[in-house]
Amino acid sequence: MDEVLKAICLPDAAAAPAPLLARLIAALRPDDADDVEQATKNARALTFLLNREPDYRAGLRRALLALMGGTRQVALYTDVGTLSNEGFYAAFKRRLGERVLPPARNPEYLKDVFGELFARRDDYRWVAALPRDVWSDLWRALAWDEEDCRVAQHTRLQMLEAVQVLTARITAIGLEPELVRVVPEIERFESPFLHLGAETLRYAESYRAALTASAEPAEDERQILVLLDQCEDILARAKKNAARYGISVGLTYHVLRLAQHIGRLRMLLDLLNWRHDPARDGTLFLLLAELVRAENRKYSVRDLFTANTELIALQVTEHAGRHGEHYIAETRSEWSGMARAAAGAGLIVGFMALVKLLLAKAHLPLIWEALAFGLNYSLGFMLVHVLHFTIATKQPAMTAARIAAVIHDKAGGRAWVDELTELVVKVLRTQFVAILGNVLLAIPTAWAIAEAWRFFTGAPVIDAAKARHLLADIDPVASLAVFHAAIAGVYLFLAGLIAGYYDNLAIYRRIPERIAALPWLNRLVGERRTLRLARYIEHNLGGLAGNFYFGLFLGVTGTIGFLLGLPLDIRHITFSSAYLSFAAVTLDYQLPLSVLLWSLAGVALIGATNLLVSFSLALWVALRSRKLKAREALPLVPAVLKRFVRNPLSFVLPPPKAAPEEVAAGQDPG
């Protein structure tokens, strides 16, 4: 570090300051980006050298001022760390391209030189982790009052220009039709976005005149900040109204851009404040950390995807969570109703399993066979939905969003853990009775079908080889049953997301209203029936779409695996239990006890894997959509185990009558 500072002090160093400053930052950089202690020691060592050697601080000041004075700064403040107006998909493609072939750098722009200074992709970690007082001490060690900082005026003018650029962008984003659609009040009242431009222009003119006269500006930034508060209120209303008007990737992109630009504008106004002390309030260091992170992650496709899908993911999981409320039995009557709904689904699955076996015997061409399998599953699951029956394994993807909502709204304190524990217990016992209803009716239904088939045709539905193959497929040790059950669990999770997506799409595209307004449909079935159909679509489009796609996923996976030469297939607990009955009838019940026990264990393990995978993925997405981490749900684990030890029956059977506090806990916190 000492050698770098000596080189910076040389007379010709100011002609090319960037390489020397890059070497200085490399000396500050710890070996491990997460080693805050080493980064702090390095920064304090530099502060010590600057305080001890006047030549060092004078040379470093000259290098910094030469860099700032010799480059255009506006793009650094306006473009780095903020999304452009190209849209999500264009930004996605551009980042993919720039990862392969980075754009050329222009040394005349500070934005490009900044990338050379913080060239390591993990620099943002140690920069953000350095304590604020360390940055403040380093800033003061430069002793800016010793320098005739004419360049400071140039920097302020560049920041002022950046303020005007950001204001123009905020105004344009605030008037986007997508934003006006979800916040119609913008059209009915005077928009703060329109007034923001005029107020910023007045502020900029006053500030430039003050810089020329070396006096304090006549206009301050307070009125701009008031307008920014009003803009942020509109932004908050846009997020809140998304559940009512629907959300899209485009709207999410506009909302994110608007939030980024408002935040950056606030920082620049704070730095331009005439009475501002960069070393005291930390705004300068926050801006530096934000710029370094943005520079290091500017090619990150993952960051772009995560940020832009956050709001739509929240709405999708919220819709799934509203469906999840119907999958939680609060009382014994609701618990019994869930058992009946699950039994009805088990009955239908018995017939679906028969159709699947008959289709397999037909030996259709591969593509047609995959399509036939998928339609069998899809139409069967849609029938289950239309008849208000329940497939047990679909519950976790729905109930996970409800649990995440409670964690988000109630987090903190003993009462939160107790309420969430009670909710989990209700979910588990509802899940238990649903699985029981599915399996206990799928098995006898499949058995009755198989026996009836053999009675009327004189032959079993499947031959002995196929029966042994079905039993081998659910063997928990000798087959890939668990892996295939995990694939089905992923599909269950995706079905939940698809259901939420289509519920959001119905609102966003106003599909029910458009159906209700169809002239030919009104003439064909009448206005009342058309309106009833529109209302049904409004409340059931997501469920129908989720079931349809779930069925297709299940149907085509085996064929895709065969075509690719990969061991891909699915195992679902309800179908596996039905196949067990068909195999037993074909083999005339001559099953060794070990085979029967292994088969039952395989069915149970398949069900557990279906549930665990789908629930884990759904809970992870629901938590991420609310900016929560998985560890925030960890206090729940010991509480649930303690409840199980104290009262295991509550995980199976609800109390005769729910206590008032339990009813309150089960209600939607919103």
Could you read off the pLDDT of 308-353 as tens digits, one per residue?
666 566 556 555 545 544 567 778 888 888 899 999 999 999 999 9
- Residue 72 pairs in a beta bridge with 109
* Distant-in-sequence, close-in-space partners of 581: CB < 8 Å, separation ≥ 6: 442, 443, 444, 446, 447, 450
Segment 584-624, tens digit of pLDDT? 999 999 989 889 999 999 999 999 998 888 878 877 777 77
Residue with tokens 């075509």: 563
Q: Where are the domains of the chain?
A: 314-666
Distance CA 369, CA 192 (A): 59
Task: Please choose, from the candidates 36, 5, 9, 42, the residue with its C-alpha nearest in 3D space to the C-alpha of residue 23.
Answer: 5
Question: Which is higher by pLDDT, 429 or 395?
Answer: 429
Distance CA 403, CA 617 (A): 13
Furthest CA-CA distance within the chain: 106
Distance CA 404, CA 413 (A): 16
The DSSP symbol for 103 reads: P
Distance CA 115, CA 96 (A): 18
User: How many of the other CB atoms lie within 10 Å of CB of 405?
Assistant: 22
Task: Please choose, from the candidates 570, 568, 569, 602, the residue with its C-alpha nearest in 3D space to the C-alpha of residue 583.
Answer: 602
Torsion angle of C-alpha atoms 562, 611, 322, 342, degrees rounded to 10: 90
* Distant-in-sequence, close-in-space partners of 466: CB < 8 Å, separation ≥ 6: 357, 360, 586
- On the question of pLDDT at 240 being above 60, the answer is yes
Task: Please choose, from the candidates 52, 60, 62, the residue with its C-alpha nearest in 3D space to the C-alpha of residue 4.
Answer: 60
Distance CA 466, CA 451 (A): 17
Runs of H (alpha helix) within 387-413:
395-410
Q: How far is CA 364 from CA 80, 378, 559, 560, in A?
A: 57, 18, 12, 15
Residue 397 binned pLDDT confidence (cut-offs 50, 70, 90): low
Phi and psi dihedrals of 72, rounded to 5?
A: -85, 125
Average pLDDT, the chain: 85
User: Quick check: 582 and 470 in contact, CB under 8 A?
Assistant: yes
Segment 532-547, tens digit of pLDDT? 999 999 888 988 998 9
User: Quick check: 359 and 461 in contact, CB under 8 A?
Assistant: no
Segment 463-483, tens digit of pLDDT? 999 999 999 999 998 899 999
- On the question of pLDDT at 625 being above 70, the answer is no
333: Cα within 13 Å, side-chain hemisphere: 2
- On the question of pLDDT at 661 being above 50, the answer is no
Distance CA 587, CA 460 (A): 9
Residue with tokens 């502060």: 47
* Degrees to nearest 5, angle at CA 224 with 218 and 228: 170
Q: Indicate the CATH number for domain 314-666.
A: 1.20.1080.10
Task: Please choose, from the candidates 603, 595, 593, 589, the residue with its C-alpha nearest in 3D space to the C-alpha of residue 460.
Answer: 589
Residue 292 binned pLDDT confidence (cut-offs 50, 70, 90): very high
Grouping H, G, I as helix, E, B as strand and the rest as coil, residue 544 is: helix
pLDDT attached to residue 658: 47
Torsion angle of C-alpha atoms 521, 525, 527, 532, degrees rounded to 10: -90
The DSSP symbol for 327 reads: G
- Catalogue the E-assigned strands of 41-102: none
Q: How far is CA 404 from CA 236, 320, 504, 634, 636, in A?
A: 21, 11, 19, 12, 12
Distance CA 159, CA 208 (A): 11
- On the question of pLDDT at 394 being above 80, the answer is no
Residue with tokens 């064929």: 559
Question: Which is higher by pLDDT, 1 or 472?
Answer: 472
pLDDT attached to residue 77: 94
Distance between alpha carbon 647 and the CA centroid of its chain, in Å? Answer: 36
User: Quick check: 178 and 257 in contact, CB under 8 A?
Assistant: no
pLDDT attached to residue 387: 94
Distance CA 208, CA 156 (A): 9
- Residue 109 pairs in a beta bridge with 72
* Distant-in-sequence, close-in-space partners of 137: CB < 8 Å, separation ≥ 6: 44, 47
Residue 215 class from Cβ within 10 Å (0-12 exposed, 13-18 middle, 19+ buried)?
exposed
User: Quick check: 161 and 207 in contact, CB under 8 A?
Assistant: no
pLDDT attached to residue 638: 85
- Taking residues 343-370, report their average pLDDT: 94
Distance CA 10, CA 625 (A): 53
Grouping H, G, I as helix, E, B as strand and the rest as coil, residue 337 is: helix
Distance CA 481, CA 603 (A): 9
